[in-house]
Structure 1
Amino acid sequence: MVPPQFPQGNSRRHFLQGAGLATAAAVLGTRSRAESTPRAVVEEVRTISLQPQYYHGWPTVTRRRNGDLVLVVSGGREGHICPFGRVEMMVSHDQGATWNWPQTILDSPSDDRDAGVLETARGTLLATTFTSLAYERSLLDAEKKKGQPGAWPEERLQRWQAAYTRLNAEERKANLGEWMVRSTDGGITWSARYPTLVNSPHGPTQLADGRLLYVGKQLWTTEQKAGVGESTDDGATWKWLADIPVRAGDSVTQYHELHAVEAGGGRVIAQIRNHNKTNSGETLQTESTDGGKSWTEPHSIGVWGLPSFLNRLRDGRLLMTYGHRRAPFGNQARVSTDAGRTWSEPLLIYGDGTSGDLGYPSTVEFDDSSLLTVWYEHMKDTPYAVLRQARWKITT
């Protein structure tokens, strides 16, 4: 998880005005072009957190073959940065109308962050996370300010210190990693955590040939390569398959939070959160035509916003949903009809956020082609970030 950046931008009103101009331009164009312009029709937006006393961050939702929805999230938190994060799972049996009480599936002695989930073709659930000591600096600063004006309350300082000292310095370093847990009984029980080669917020994807690809980033190595792990045993073990090349003039240290999808016709695409100077704050894209063994140099697709989540829809189109962390704060989507070679203008799923501490949307599709998108959001009237969802559909 990369700390959010909160640049200023146009207002939601200006965005909608721009969208209206784009719509008008489409109407003035050819009839076929107007009919092919996708729109988002949002039916419902609501909060789904069941524990408002905690901060929730960076969720992923997946739809199982039996129709259940499985959502994982970094829960139990005090804030965006803290030592208390744990991976929690929520399940819905009614397409998101109601959600079961959260179940903790992983809680290490360090902060467990971004949570991804996938059901494999064999029915196995794979959940991903990574451990972090990002909170360490905040704690050290608080210790230095003890007894001074603006210092933390003593109870809070003691709570953080107690969490920090669960491990000694050597153990804390050893506990850093990119992790996966695995369930073969529908999420009732989970394996012990085991290391993966990379991390990304939403986890791996499965190809039609049965292989699993995990496109992500090395977090705790000197190189911090972006690349692809492969599993041929249902996610039990992983091996390195390929590096993601670095665009000329870029640093790989500024590539983050990748996600991939099989686009059809032997083509796999992956998208990258980019913080290099060129196209900073945009989503970059790279493609593979050999099953993930080699990839093109990342390139701009003209989308400001990040990170993205990719779906291949029932009709063969691709959908990317992504956070928009400047006005209008919220989540947007784009559609591709040509396997990711080009993308539509933005579809507004939600644009009423009050800050950039939101996003990381992920999306599932139902049998009637309607969609459900889940994200996290620090709202104005809540002390902690909550889980949110939107029911919507794409029309033309």
Structure 2
Amino acid sequence: MQIVARGLVFDPARVEDALQVCSFTSLLQLRDGTFLVSFRRGTAKDSADGNTAIFQSTDQGATWSEISSGFETHFEGIPGEVRSAELAELDDGRLLAVLGWVDRAGGDGVLRDSESDTLPAMHLLQEYSSDGGQSWSGRRVLQRHSVLSGPIVRLDDRGWLVTSEYSHGANEATPRCHAAYAHFSRDGEVFEPAVDVVPGNSQIFYYDQRQSCCPHSGRLVSMFWTYDIHAEADIEMHMAWGDPKSLVWSPPTSMGVQGQIAMPIPLSDGRLLAFYVHRHAPGSLRLMVSTDQGVTWNRKTELIVYESTGTVEQGTGAQTTYDEFWDAMGTWSFGHPSAAVLEDGSLLLVFYAGPHESSLSVHWARVEL
């Protein structure tokens, strides 16, 4: 594997405004070959002014232009933040955007209140575009009290799959609990009730699931950033395989590799790649390959796509508490890997990164396998 080209989707240093912090990157390839990248812009990673922009490339990622600066941030009269947006192309050519909306009536700050162990209201909203993503309308609720967690998956001719998660705080009667979900729609309009990808668990939290449909086997493959709540530490990344018809997933198993968010990239020849966040030192984004469906991973051929030039990321030490872990997320300077397989078999990778948390750009890289 080798990087043959790289550049920036968006460099905030080139614009004269205060929205210098980009994150929550996602990539969609349209049927005509156009690429869309959605990403959050804000004055800080946890600022109330966050909104999701959309950029377009018609030359396989070589150049990019803005087609949308953001969505309506108020919802039901409440000021909010559109923290992320996942996009899909429907059969009639319209675009679907599933928005991760956050109640920001309380203003800026880390989302979790450590004293009450609660989060502000977060909802999944749907909107539609008939002009390629320039304008959006038709807002409706997909799921209340839910956090968006990865690209929308096209299930061949069956429909679309949206993924989410939610953490329930501890109280006198119950411990903390986290679960991962999937929401299926046959037409991209009406979504069926959520199904469990990973049922609620009070010991291991399976964060930030990323799903892909394997062109070789037809199965769904999911990867998780995995956290042991009692040890208050990340453990090895986990993965699971799912049936796209029954929407039933196997219990997650360890990938044997330490990391955080991982984007599965299944290939038609049966190989499985993972584009993942290597948060611990040396901080980096890496691409690795498996030839046995994720049972083992070839670390010798692992490709470093991005290497941080900053200091060691906060929250990666052995003594980090759960509260400190949440605070640290707002300081991380790279992440949210996304990927697409091009017609020639090469990869287009997208992620956010920068020298420090107050200056973060959106990057792309082209990789030949």
**Which range, TM-score by smaller chain?**
0.7 to 0.9
> What is aligned with 1:351?
307
- Aligned pair partner of 2:197 in 244, 248, 261: 244
Please list the CA deviations of residues 197-243 of structure 1 after superposition, one character each: whole Å capped at 9, or x if unmatched.
3543433201124221223213689975322211011x212112521
Tell me which amino acid in the other structure corresponds to 1:306.
Q
What TM-score comes out, normalization by structure 1 length? 0.71
CA distance in 1, matches of 2:347, 2:3: 9
What TM-score comes out, normalization by structure 2 length? 0.75
Cα deviation, residue 196, structure 1: 2.5
The alignment partner of 1:225 has SS state of strand
Which has a greater percent of helix?
A: 1
Within a 5 Å distance, the mapping from 1:90-169 to structure 2 comes to 90-108=55-73, 109-133=79-103, 136=106
Tell me which amino acid in the other structure corresponds to 2:222.
A
Does the Cα contact within 8 Å between 1:324 and 1:330 map onto a contact in 2? yes
> What is aligned with 2:174?
none
CA distance in 2, matches of 1:266, 1:287: 10
CA distance in 2, matches of 1:353, 1:281: 24
Select the structure of larger CA radius of gyration.
1
Q: 1:123 to 1:218 in 2, by over 3 A?
A: farther
CA distance in 2, matches of 1:228, 1:79: 29
Say yes or no: does 1:86 pair with 2:51: yes
- Aligned pair partner of 2:22 in 37, 43, 56: 56
> What is aligned with 1:379?
355
Unaligned runs of 5+ in 2: 74-78, 111-118, 171-176, 314-331
Q: Which protein, 1 or 2, shows the higher relative CO under an 8 Å CA cutoff with sep ≥ 6?
A: 1
Does the Cα contact within 8 Å between 2:179 and 2:200 map onto a contact in 1? no
Q: 1:135 to 1:373 in 2, by over 3 A?
A: farther
Aligned-residue identity in percent: 23
Say yes or no: does 1:213 pair with 2:161: yes
Q: 1:133 to 1:240 in 2, by over 3 A?
A: same
CA distance in 2, matches of 1:301, 1:139: 34
Unaligned runs of 5+ in 1: 1-39, 141-171
CA distance in 2, matches of 1:308, 1:365: 16
Tell me which amino acid in the other structure corresponds to 1:72.
S
The alignment partner of 1:42 has SS state of strand
Tell me which amino acid in the other structure corresponds to 2:125.
W
Say yes or no: does 1:68 pair with 2:16: no
Cα deviation, residue 85, structure 1: 0.7
> What is aligned with 2:318?
none
Please list the CA deviations of residues 347-378 of structure 1 after superposition, one character each: whole Å capped at 9, or x if unmatched.
32222442542111111222222222111113
Q: 1:290 to 1:186 in 2, by over 3 A?
A: closer
How large is the Cα RMSD of the aligned pairs? 3.1
Q: 1:113 to 1:307 in 2, by over 3 A?
A: same
The alignment partner of 1:182 has SS state of strand
Cα deviation, residue 269, structure 1: 1.8
Q: 1:81 to 1:347 in 2, by over 3 A?
A: same
